[in-house]
């Protein structure tokens, strides 16, 4: 093959690649346009589209236009009426999670001595199963990094359980801790301290705030170390966390004081008005929230003493007294003691 023929062949290949690339770009643009059309109603422009799985239709909630029909149901083909039935019929494992060091993707040999049909394993095979279980547990953690991660995530789970935190907070805390490990921020710091700081950051990110004192109570490190580690990892990881709002504490404090929903709503309204007049800035959110609940309980006829509110909120009676006088004066609230 001569040089000219080689050049022609290369040119043809280049043109074919160029055409293929252009075709892919056109296909992507077409797909993007279809997705945009699919996410908005062509009749009224509304984005409130609902999938009706019983009729297999995509319907606009605003004007009732059917945008799509006979789409594929990606759910299971079986029905279950309780949790046990669902677990028996399910053919997949647990979902992936960041709260386990291997993300829950490795095999676990169950502690119950039963086979897949639920029959008891004979005593002859139990010793072998015990050894398999032991070695499986050992090989799940292969190196020092995984051992560190396994210990830290178990510590995170223990603290989250003690504080009664929901699943999304645990997942967020695990992701923050993994990011800190990836950036080598653990070196020279205790695992417990970084885990506690990651949990505190996750609480703030998910708007389920817990104070440093509450985190310190369930962890094995001091409040000072948690605060210092939290500031360090938030700076290094670039966590953009807004100051905690006093409104986020109201549901938990009201639940601890057994107050009705009306009292909670009134406390939230007081805090909203205080925020508009900038009465909450520069003050501890727990103290302001406790003062608003104290005022709301008196106005709602479910009076709680300052000591009771202080014990639930974790602040002093003096703080509540100062804050409630300030709120009552600035917001023109008449309180009959």
Q: How much is the pLDDT for 51? A: 82
Q: Tens-digit pLDDT profile for the chain (337 aa)?
A: 566 676 667 677 777 777 777 777 777 666 555 544 467 888 888 888 888 877 788 888 888 888 888 777 777 777 788 877 877 777 777 778 888 888 877 777 777 787 777 788 888 888 888 888 888 878 778 788 888 888 999 999 999 999 999 999 999 999 999 999 999 998 889 999 999 999 999 999 988 888 898 999 999 899 999 999 999 999 999 988 888 888 888 998 998 888 888 889 989 999 998 888 888 888 888 999 999 999 998 888 888 888 999 998 888 999 998 888 888 888 888 777 6
b/e code 205-239 from CB counts within 10 Å (16+ = b) = bbebbbbbebbbeebebebebbbebbebbbeeeee
Binding positions: 41, 44, 60, 63
50: nearest Cα among 37, 60, 63: 60
- The whole-angstrom separation of Cα 198 and Cα 176 is 6
315: nearest Cα among 291, 279, 296: 291
Structural domains in the chain? 47-72 (no CATH), 144-237 (1.10.472.10), 246-331 (1.10.472.10)
173 near 201, Cβ under 8 Å?
yes
- The whole-angstrom separation of Cα 41 and Cα 124 is 66
Q: Please tell me the pTM assigned to this model.
A: 0.68
Q: How much is the pLDDT for 67? A: 84
Q: How much is the pLDDT for 32? A: 55
Q: How much is the pLDDT for 38? A: 60
Q: Which residue has the tokens 């280049």?
A: 14
100 near 151, Cβ under 8 Å?
no
Binding positions for Zn(2+): 41, 44, 60, 63
Q: How much is the pLDDT for 23? A: 78
Q: How much is the pLDDT for 34? A: 52
Q: How much is the pLDDT for 155? A: 93
Distances (CA, A) of 181 to 145, 195, 279, 310, 317: 9, 11, 40, 38, 41
């Amino acid at each position: 093959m001569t040089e000219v023929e080689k050049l022609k062949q290369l040119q043809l290949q280049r043109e074919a690649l160029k055409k293929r690339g252009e075709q892919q770009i056109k296909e992507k643009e077409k797909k993007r346009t279809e997705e945009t059309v699919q996410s908005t109603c062509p009749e009224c422009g509304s984005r409130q589209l609902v999938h009706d799985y019983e009729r297999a239709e995509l319907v606009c909630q605003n004007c009732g236009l059917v945008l799509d029909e006979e789409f594929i149901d990606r759910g299971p083909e079986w029905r279950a009426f309780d949790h046990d039935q669902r677990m028996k019929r399910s053919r997949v494992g647990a979902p992936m999670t960041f709260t386990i060091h291997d993300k829950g993707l490795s095999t676990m040999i169950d502690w119950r001595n039963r086979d897949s049909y639920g029959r008891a394993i004979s005593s002859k095979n139990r010793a072998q199963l015990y050894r398999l279980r032991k070695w499986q547990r050992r090989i799940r953690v292969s190196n020092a990094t995984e051992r560190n991660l396994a210990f830290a995530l178990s510590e995170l789970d223990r603290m989250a359980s003690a504080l009664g935190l929901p699943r999304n907070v645990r997942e967020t805390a695990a992701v923050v801790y993994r990011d800190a490990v990836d950036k080598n921020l653990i070196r020279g710091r205790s695992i417990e301290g970084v885990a506690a700081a990651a949990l505190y950051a996750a609480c703030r990110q998910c708007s389920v705030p817990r104070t440093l004192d509450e985190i310190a109570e369930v962890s094995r490190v001091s409040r000072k170390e948690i605060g210092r580690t939290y500031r360090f990892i938030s700076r290094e990881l670039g966590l953009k966390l807004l100051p905690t709002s006093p409104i986020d504490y109201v549901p938990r404090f009201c639940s601890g004081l057994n107050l009705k929903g009306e009292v909670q709503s009134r406390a939230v309204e007081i805090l909203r008005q205080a925020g508009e007049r900038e009465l909450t800035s520069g003050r501890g959110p727990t103290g302001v929230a406790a003062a608003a609940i104290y005022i709301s309980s008196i106005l709602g006829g479910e009076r709680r003493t300052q000591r009771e509110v202080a014990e639930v909120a974790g602040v002093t009676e003096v703080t509540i007294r100062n804050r409630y006088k300030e709120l009552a004066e600035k917001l023109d609230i008449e309180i009959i003691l």
